[in-house]
Amino acid sequence: MVKQNDCLDLIAAARSGDRDCMGLLAAHIHDRLYPYLQRATCDHHLSQDLLQEVLLTMLRRVSRLEKPESFWPWLYKIARSRIHRHYQRERRRRLLHMQLIDDACRSLPQRRSGILEIIVRQETREDMAVAVSRLDERYRDVVRLRCLEDMPYAEIAGRTETSPELARIRFLRAKRSLRNCPLVAAMAND
């Protein structure tokens, strides 16, 4: 365990650009911050990912830290921000997937809605959500931007930091992947 004075010395050295001290400080931060992230997320892999984001942010910004004695509150604030941002992204992603599924279900042929058809439509919506959620994240993003936001490939390329050609290829691969999904194939045949 690093003492408070030693920690302040590590922070001061890290602020001046000493890479060895940055490494020692990062190891100390890992030991202290990982349990906090683990309790907040209850997910080992997510905690590790968030910890990496916090460490990278700390390394980029530590030279601008005005009060080294406020290092730990500053670091926990960054960690809370990363946790909050992660769950906001997840919530948005789930909402967009449900919207995509709702739009796909609306495009299905409309028949008289009996109770059985309502149940089937709901199950289809859920199955489509599963099929889309199984796509690679790069493909899900392109499908969302193309189908939900009706973006041209040039704008999709700007949003996803790719070329328009790569955006088009990813969209085609996503469609092919969804066609190969047994559920989607069965829906297309109905």
Domains annotated on the chain, with CATH? 4-88 (1.10.1740.10), 108-189 (1.10.10.10)
State the pLDDT at residue 24.
Answer: 86
State the pLDDT at residue 190.
Answer: 47
State the pLDDT at residue 26.
Answer: 86
Q: What six digits make up the tokens of 14?
A: 């890290």
Distances (CA, A) of 178 to 29, 89, 173, 184: 43, 23, 9, 6
What is the share, in percent, of the chain residues with pLDDT greater than 70?
82
pLDDT beneath 70, residues of the chain? 1-6, 103-114, 128-129, 132, 148, 181-190
Place of tokens 């030693």: 6
How is 1-19 classified by DSSP, letter by letter?
---HHHHHHHHHHHHTT-H
Distance in angstroms (rounded) separating the CA atoms of residues 125 and 131: 10
In the chain, alpha helices (H): 4-15, 19-41, 44-61, 71-106, 115-133, 137-143, 153-160, 164-180, 182-189
Q: What six digits make up the tokens of 79?
A: 């960690």
State the pLDDT at residue 185.
Answer: 53
Q: Is 44 left (phi over 0), alpha (psi -120 to 50) or beta?
A: alpha
State the pLDDT at residue 67.
Answer: 84
Contact in structure between 159 and 136 (CB atoms under 8 Å): no
State the pLDDT at residue 104.
Answer: 67
Tell me the whole-structure pTM to 2 decimals.
Answer: 0.51
